[in-house]
Amino acid sequence: MSKTQDLSALLSDADLFRSQGYINGKWVGATDGATFPLTNPATGAKLADMPHMPRGQVAEAIDAAKAALPAWSALTAYQRSAYLLKLHGLMEQHVQDLGTILCVENGKPLTEAKGEIAYGASFLQWNAAEGLRTYGQTIPSPFPGTRNMVIKQPIGVCGLITPWNFPNAMITRKMAPALAAGCTVVIKAPAETPLSALAMAVLCERVGIPAGVVNVVCMDKGDREAAAGLELCENPKVSKISFTGSTPVGRLLMQQSSSTLKKLSFELGGNAAFIIFDDADLETAVNGVIASKFRAAGQTCVCANRIFVHSKVYTQFANLLAEKVKAFKVGDGMTEGVTIGPLVNQRGVEKVERHVKDAVSKGAKILVGGERFTPSSASNSGSEAKETCFFQPTVIIDVDPSSYVASEETFGPLAPLFKFETDEEVIQRANSTEVGLAAYFFTKDLGRSNRVAEALEVGMVGVNTGVIAQACIPFGGVKQSGFGREGGPGGINEFQIEKLITIGGI
């Protein structure tokens, strides 16, 4: 039997730990009392019984958001901005507690979790400022006595569906521009990490954001999750769905939204190519791979999935990378010094294992790792050890292009190295996928840098860096990685409509 963990004992402000949903300014369980267990992926210990809400409660949250919309959208942009700045301040003040909640429900090391809180808070700061600058236009008319004006207005109630890999930042990345634009929101929290979403609702309540403006519903995976998705997509009171998650769920939500023709923005899966040319600074490139591949134990949509290394530097690069990966300290994210945590669930572990076995069966060699395991810092032991979700950080070389890992997103700590010879060949291989979110390459050649960046079929390119996300720049993909951009000057437009006002008879 699994043991339980008292999360509130780890917090200086235990009130941030909530195991109820937040609808219309009230903390509520599921109407029928249904719950599901939430566990710590590092130990298998139960953290809480969470409300398993039925579809009717999602509709209730949408009604609350619709009722709150007129007053929230009627505030001045300055008033909304002030709320966001206060929220930003509270996040900074509570970074330790918010990071702890994130660490125990998601598994990422505490230092990394606190880094995510800072990143999540940056969306509030950026959008607090950006909301003040949602300018319209006046456009000269070809007709005498006519004036044209374009104004920006909030799109309305927004359904925000977020994933577990960034339990805080994926919420603020959507919520901050939505609130700044004058929209109200219903957040469907991921089943794996609802506590971070609910902690944000506590802070919204504390800064006085009115009831109904921010609502958080939660339920386990399966039927009620699908029902929540249906309600958000089919309810005519919802004007926009912003979703981050897998491509298959994105396709489903798009179909479901067709009956009400909602505005959509989707940030879906990736399969990032990470290219190391023969003139690259190898030390910097290895650090780039580490930052891109092993953050969040490889569970990021922009992480290096296919690492292409020029044949001239292949062996040298592989050895350098293996050396650094061997030095990782894997364990419970709450343990001092741990640099890589568990995967979020067993499904994630099984996928990494399948990718490793398949690549090895096609000739790949394991340089480091290659197996699931339970580190000593994961506080469970004996029969409970199997409930933890660790996989060793792994580097494999001589990977055959027919391996699953060449075409599927691994979403785990597996770095597969492929060999290439020419720029044309590697660009073609990098682009030979149905998705196009991010790509990275390392070179010192300025001409090549421009040529390759322009040729890669992705929404974002990192040149000589493995880190590309910031609140002030657009984030999003092409092809089946989705559409719409989060962050940057255009991010807030996703939550606005442009309204034309033409005035005649002047």
Catalytic site positions: 267
Which residue's structure tokens are 């076995």? 357
Q: What is the DSSP letter of 209?
A: P
Residues 6+ apart with CB under 8 A from 73: 153, 154, 182, 183
Token pair listed for 355: 């990718």
Q: Closest CB to ligand NAD among 246 and 431? A: 246
Q: Does 165 sit near ligand NAD (CB under 6 A)? A: yes
Least separation in angstroms between residue 493's CB and ligand NAD is 21
CB contact set of 145 (below 8 Å; sequence gap of 6+): 504, 505, 506
Interaction mask 245-274, ligand NAD, x per CB under 6 A: xx--x--x--------------xxx-----
Is 63 a residue that touches ligand NAD (CB under 6 A)?
no
Q: Is 436 in the site for ligand NAD (CB under 6 A)?
A: no
- Tokens representing residue 198 in the block: 């609910």
Pick 154 or 194: Cβ nearer ligand NAD: 194
Rank residues 126 and 411 by Cβ distance to ligand NAD and give the closer one: 411
Task: Pick the stretch among 26-34, 209-217, 241-249, 460-468 that binds ligand NAD (CB under 6 A).
Answer: 241-249
**419 Cβ partners below 8 Å, 6+ apart?**
308, 309, 310, 311, 314, 398
Q: How far is the CB of 477 from ligand NAD (least distance, A)?
A: 9
Coil, helix or strand for 139? Answer: strand
Instruction: Print the binding letters for residues 395-434 with ligand NAD: x by CB under 6 A, - otherwise.
Output: --------------x-x-----------------------
The minimum distance between CB 95 and ligand NAD, in angstroms, equals 22
Report CA-CA distances (Å) from 416 to 388, 443, 493.
24, 20, 38
In whole angstroms, give the CA distance from residue 356 to residue 415.
10
The full DSSP string for 429-463 is HHH-SSEESEEEEE-S-HHHHHHHHHHS-SSEEEE
What's the min distance (Å) between Cβ of 243 and ligand NAD? Answer: 7
Rule CB under 6 A: which of 272-301 touch ligand NAD?
A: 301
Residue in 62, 117, 124, 191 binding ligand NAD, rule: CB under 6 A: 191
Nearer Cβ to ligand NAD, position 252 or 453? 252
Residue number, nearest CB to ligand NAD:
229
CA atoms of 72 and 170, how far apart (whole Å): 22
H or E element at residue 188: strand 184-188
Rounded to whole angstroms, the Cα distance separating 435 from 14 reads: 42
Choose which of 54, 107, 163, 167 interacts with ligand NAD (CB under 6 A).
163
Q: Smallest distance, Å, CB 437 to ligand NAD?
A: 7
Instruction: Give the nearest distance from C-beta 202 to ligand NAD in angstroms.
Output: 20
Chain positions 323 to 352 lying near ligand NAD, rule: CB under 6 A, are: none
Using the contact rule CB under 6 A, the part of the chain among 12-20, 26-34, 187-195, 365-373 near ligand NAD is: 187-195
* Token code pair at residue 205: 């309540």
Piece of 19-27, 64-72, 100-108, 222-230 that binds ligand NAD (CB under 6 A): 222-230
Burial 335-366 (b: 16+ CB within 10 A, else e): beebbbbbbbbeebbebbbebbebbeebebeb
Interacting span for ligand NAD (CB under 6 A) from 143-151, 157-165, 320-328, 441-449: 157-165
Residues that bind ligand NAD (CB under 6 A): 161-165, 188, 190-191, 225-226, 228-229, 244-246, 249, 252, 267-269, 301, 409, 411
